[in-house]
Structure 1
């Protein structure tokens, strides 16, 4: 069966499905969409907004005269621009398949829309329960048989239209039990659904990272027809903090002759979908000849007929002029993008001219193509950050992992040598990237087209805030100021943190972070913290030896400067009662926290002179060690918090710890995650750093 673009037998469906949850697009926006589709060569619009109540929840209700007028105008607008308007209805929430009155109500609703001039239709059974009512169980052999019977009846009733789409309940690989090839539901659909009806499919998942030719060949053989892809790669209705402005990608153009069509179900916000729809149009026009020959889509260069970055650049270039079109009364569009003009402009108003000693008028530089490229990088795709965003995360991770040039770093700057210069250079580079985000935000906020801005504003405001916090944190690490109050205050302002109640629930669950795109080794581990017992002595000694020098290798004890806490870790000194904890993961004990409420005797036993004044302010000693594979600081922070609470309840005024200058990991931990600050202890070895905290 030929179904590729240019086929004379069956048209390749290409376009947009408005199928997301949330506020539906306006009639004006849909008409604008039809114009764009005509311009870019996309031929189909599927009307399926989940929150249009007469599409889904109240599917039996006929449209009122006013609603009918709007739909008639919309269908006519689509036809004028050469776009096939496909009306979809979703009765699956509460339909009784075996009740003739229910089927009649469905046919009556479809007849009404047909009278509006619509010639293409769709029945959707996605995102519904799979348990049949008793009446349906008696009438049908399975849920699939019930759906297929009603769908076939509606299709025949409408005169077997050229375009009729069916969305199954199992609409992706992940929903099929036990697999696509063995799914009794899909096999029933393939065998019983009339051949003129096309089936919608999202790929391996609801939001598919990649869609391979092999996966489409498999599902096509079961369905006995090529599917129409309902693509959620740009959908964002599942997360109000995400927006996707990256290109259509990870679908090889070899798919085109294997499919009946592709419809993108994009962002809920209408105007930011310019990139998603534009790049899909570029993909649909790409010839499959010479395309990728395997399922591995990691190398964009393998697809010679479609390059996502080229498609993205083309889309952003076409999008930029739209930001410069004024859409508000009294606003003056920028005629020359090189001009700098005041934000507030008024046609026919006299311009205020400040005096020689007064503040100059505020001016805003126009938005640039580089700004849009940065915007796309920051809000790229569900499974991938853009290049600039990835670089910013890598730089921040490196800057945090290599200390800084701040208070602690000054204590052992001589030991670090040239590392300080490299850190400062990379900190400046990170700051420049943060400044570019701020400037992009400023220029975008002053764009003439406020409709586009208002769709984007919540997202760019959020990313500007996050980047600002990271920027201030790096400056504090470099000794250029205090850490931002939002990160360290016990009573932060509400704009200083993200997530609300939903975020708190997620952070309390073991799966939190497993979909982070910026990977660190393993971030999803579950840690158990329990009291230390004598049987743990060998494991504690093992961890102590494994963390003696950078890189995790053990060094001979005579090469290490003596630390007061070494006796605790080596098992030579017992910790104070209730002041010893160990941490376990799937591999066993991976960390410990030990304390002495009175450290004077321990200092004497290793012949260290510690001034009475120091022990008066910081009489207690703590030591914390975790293996290098533990990258989450939270469990260690909880252990040390418990120790300090126990020490304080025993009347101690403060606690101190000692670390070797080479122990970057634990120095960073104490600096960033605890209240410990550097202190001076007379008589301590030159390459030992002491830190203390008051209780």
Structure 2
């Protein structure tokens, strides 16, 4: 039996009852919240697809986050009561979430009372399930809280336990930590003091939300869940952002729920998808999650038989997608209710859309025929999903189009002079043109689908992709001499629709960061850096860099470290163990080392009998100014110093890192060699990491 399973059983026995698997939707994105009508429609869908939960957490609902202290007005109360009632009618557990972390003072009894008063009001509305969210907030406590609590985690856990008991320990109560994914944990999940405090002190009846390895996790493995479960001492509820798009207004995701093995199901408390901001395009995200939830390895009833060709024998993302698209096609072809309800009796004005009936126009001989819309097909929806698939991958058709465009572009000159390649190039150009035409046909059919609500949510995205495809199509034709060079592509003064990005795109192209998941890699455009040996004249520059970084991170030096004294020049580095990084503006970083750190330990009143000095006798320290965004110069400096230290006979190196120095802490944490080590006498805000040589 796994560690995770053991902790789950303990939790359930403690409460004296088994808990059902939470499966459903969290409305937890930034931007315009869904309407009451849309939420009620969501409840119907969830009930139909055997999901059971809705978590109310719209980030930009005033009284959920920004003005969390304010009670709901009588008009707002009526709406919430109706919503909670609608959820209950469809057997959906309505979880009310509140996010007080932006400005709450944990140690102030009046603040805690205000939080209880707000939740009491919602409980009076008929709500039985609740959640406290402390995500996306600053981790610094105010002076009053620092006096009352030993850590940020202790403050959050204390108030969560108190509120949970005040509400008489509801069956469903969720807690969202500030470190809600592995990437946020310092230095890692298993060594995180924050998560360990949550696991040790949060009452066992409270469940913990977790997004996986990242905020938007590509994959979530069984091993990663077992690791975090052992620290939290309970199975987490996954807040899954795989279909979220609130971080980029140019993206939307309509691929299937995938890269989460069904072996996870018995190891989780539940899964809640936090999908696209647009309500109606979430059909695929929620439908395929429902299929996944029913695909338990224990042989539970499934919506579709899964084939042997999939890695997961219990769930096929492709088949789940086709099942969802088949059902979605029916919804596309249904008459949009708001449009259908336009009736003359409700208004003295004529409606914008009227039924012309027998008076409809009939063209005469020689006149243009009436426009006839082609019906939307399942292939159109499959293409739509391929073009707007998932954050970390394109669908099969999109990948093929990009590969073909890249091939046609790179082989156009060779095809112009080599008759053997001309035929292949023209054949592949025609195939690419056919794929482009399929996108245009899909756009036209979607634009004429009867259900206008879905179209309006999709329109900006499908219009944008159609425009991009048109540009690529014209470009390929011009390469093959089959059309005139496109003025939109080639002109010195193109129209606005001939390029993408706006001001945001301009900023992005000027910065050195590059997407590591681009389908076609290009050499990064970075500054030129010089790494050279340290000399005596560099002492003032290194002191300045060190002081600037200390001030920027508000680091107090009441208890200086060996590395601090090394950086300020009070302890000189060992010979050939000091490097300086320069760019065109001057020194911008450094890496220094001591061969024998034990000899320098006495200067900071450190116990030289610490056994850590035996395995890690040498010390390395360094800083790089924020203007150096490329991590490779720092990596090269460390590699060079480690090589020098090893050649001088040392068997290990350690570094001292303050928790507030998130950049260097993250740098060493992501290194394949440095790992946390136990070292006595370090201040509470300092961690030691070491590597053997």
**Shift, 1:121, TM fit:** 0.0
**Shift, 1:492, TM fit:** 1.1
Aligned equivalent of 2:179: 170
Aligned equivalent of 2:297: 288
Q: Write the distance in 1 (CA, Å) between the matches of 2:309 and 2:504.
A: 36
Aligned equivalent of 2:514: 512
**Shift, 1:512, TM fit:** 3.0
Q: Write the distance in 2 (CA, Å) between the matches of 1:62 and 1:26.
A: 20
Q: Write the distance in 1 (CA, Å) between the matches of 2:482 and 2:354.
A: 39
- Asked if residue 486 in structure 1 is aligned to residue 488 in structure 2, the reply is yes
The runs of at least 4 consecutive aligned structure 1 residues that moved more than 2 Å come to 1-4, 328-333, 344-349, 512-516, 522-529
- Asked if residue 446 in structure 1 is aligned to residue 448 in structure 2, the reply is yes
For residues 486-530 of structure 1, the C-alpha deviation after alignment (integer angstroms, 9 at most, x for no partner) is: 1111111111111001101100111134342x133x44353769x
Aligned equivalent of 1:275: 284
Q: Write the distance in 2 (CA, Å) between the matches of 1:345 and 1:326.
A: 14
Name the SS for the 1:418 alignment partner: helix
Aligned equivalent of 1:359: 368
**Alpha-carbon spacing, 1:157–1:370, altered in 2? closer, same or farther (3 Å):** same
Name the SS for the 1:363 alignment partner: coil
Stretches of structure 2 lacking an aligned partner (at least 5 in a row): 1-7, 301-307, 343-352, 530-693
Aligned equivalent of 1:316: 325
- Asked if residue 436 in structure 1 is aligned to residue 438 in structure 2, the reply is yes
Which of 394, 397, 401 is 2:403 aligned to? 394
Q: Write the distance in 2 (CA, Å) between the matches of 1:332 and 1:523.
A: 57
Q: Write the distance in 1 (CA, Å) between the matches of 2:165 and 2:339.
A: 55
Asked whether the 8 Å contact 1:323–1:448 carries over to 2, the reply is yes
- Asked if residue 113 in structure 1 is aligned to residue 122 in structure 2, the reply is yes
Q: Write the distance in 1 (CA, Å) between the matches of 2:149 and 2:451.
A: 55
For residues 350-402 of structure 1, the C-alpha deviation after alignment (integer angstroms, 9 at most, x for no partner) is: 11010111111111101100000000000000001000000000000000010
Aligned equivalent of 1:84: 93
Aligned equivalent of 1:524: 524
**Shift, 1:259, TM fit:** 0.3
User: TM-score by structure 2 length?
Assistant: 0.70
Q: Write the distance in 1 (CA, Å) between the matches of 2:421 and 2:341.
A: 52
For residues 294-331 of structure 1, the C-alpha deviation after alignment (integer angstroms, 9 at most, x for no partner) is: xxxxx971200100000000000000011111226676
Q: Write the distance in 2 (CA, Å) between the matches of 1:115 and 1:348.
A: 52
Asked whether the 8 Å contact 1:331–1:345 carries over to 2, the reply is no
Name the SS for the 2:511 alignment partner: coil
Equivalent residue runs for 1:552-567 within 5 Å: none
Q: Write the distance in 1 (CA, Å) between the matches of 2:323 and 2:18.
A: 32
Aligned equivalent of 1:262: 271
Equivalent residue runs for 1:46-65 within 5 Å: 46-65=55-74
Aligned equivalent of 2:211: 202
Q: Write the distance in 2 (CA, Å) between the matches of 1:329 and 1:85.
A: 26
Which of 18, 22, 30 is 1:21 aligned to? 30
**Alpha-carbon spacing, 1:345–1:306, altered in 2? closer, same or farther (3 Å):** farther
Name the SS for the 1:263 alignment partner: strand
Q: Write the distance in 2 (CA, Å) between the matches of 1:35 and 1:505.
A: 43
Stretches of structure 1 lacking an aligned partner (at least 5 in a row): 292-298, 334-343, 530-695
Aligned equivalent of 2:194: 185
Q: Write the distance in 1 (CA, Å) between the matches of 2:112 and 2:309.
A: 48
Which of 466, 469, 486 is 1:467 aligned to? 469
Name the SS for the 2:48 alignment partner: helix
**Shift, 1:17, TM fit:** 0.2
Aligned equivalent of 1:103: 112
Aligned equivalent of 2:499: 497
**Alpha-carbon spacing, 1:357–1:345, altered in 2? closer, same or farther (3 Å):** farther
Asked whether the 8 Å contact 1:331–1:347 carries over to 2, the reply is no
Name the SS for the 1:403 alignment partner: helix
Equivalent residue runs for 1:109-148 within 5 Å: 109-148=118-157
Aligned equivalent of 1:154: 163
Q: Write the distance in 2 (CA, Å) between the matches of 1:232 and 1:300.
A: 27
Asked whether the 8 Å contact 1:14–1:284 carries over to 2, the reply is yes
**Shift, 1:332, TM fit:** 11
Aligned equivalent of 1:457: 459
Q: Write the distance in 2 (CA, Å) between the matches of 1:85 and 1:242.
A: 29
Q: Write the distance in 1 (CA, Å) between the matches of 2:506 and 2:309.
A: 38
Aligned equivalent of 1:424: 426
For residues 646-665 of structure 1, the C-alpha deviation after alignment (integer angstroms, 9 at most, x for no partner) is: xxxxxxxxxxxxxxxxxxxx
Q: Write the distance in 1 (CA, Å) between the matches of 2:141 and 2:296.
A: 45
User: TM-score by structure 1 length?
Assistant: 0.70
Asked whether the 8 Å contact 1:31–1:78 carries over to 2, the reply is yes
Q: Write the distance in 2 (CA, Å) between the matches of 1:418 and 1:303.
A: 44
Name the SS for the 1:364 alignment partner: coil
Q: Write the distance in 2 (CA, Å) between the matches of 1:225 and 1:368.
A: 45
Name the SS for the 2:412 alignment partner: coil
**Alpha-carbon spacing, 1:528–1:491, altered in 2? closer, same or farther (3 Å):** farther
Bigger Rg, which one: 1
Name the SS for the 2:224 alignment partner: helix
| Cα-Cα RMSD | 2.2
**Alpha-carbon spacing, 1:437–1:160, altered in 2? closer, same or farther (3 Å):** same
For residues 106-156 of structure 1, the C-alpha deviation after alignment (integer angstroms, 9 at most, x for no partner) is: 000000000000000000000000110000000000000000000000000
**Shift, 1:161, TM fit:** 0.1
Q: Write the distance in 2 (CA, Å) between the matches of 1:17 and 1:328.
A: 25
Name the SS for the 1:117 alignment partner: coil
- Asked if residue 71 in structure 1 is aligned to residue 80 in structure 2, the reply is yes
Q: Write the distance in 1 (CA, Å) between the matches of 2:77 and 2:354.
A: 41
**Shift, 1:242, TM fit:** 0.3
Aligned equivalent of 2:583: none
Name the SS for the 2:516 alignment partner: coil
Q: Write the distance in 2 (CA, Å) between the matches of 1:101 and 1:255.
A: 41
For residues 196-254 of structure 1, the C-alpha deviation after alignment (integer angstroms, 9 at most, x for no partner) is: 00000000000000000000000000000000000000000000000000000000000
Q: Write the distance in 1 (CA, Å) between the matches of 2:528 and 2:368.
A: 60
Aligned equivalent of 2:3: none
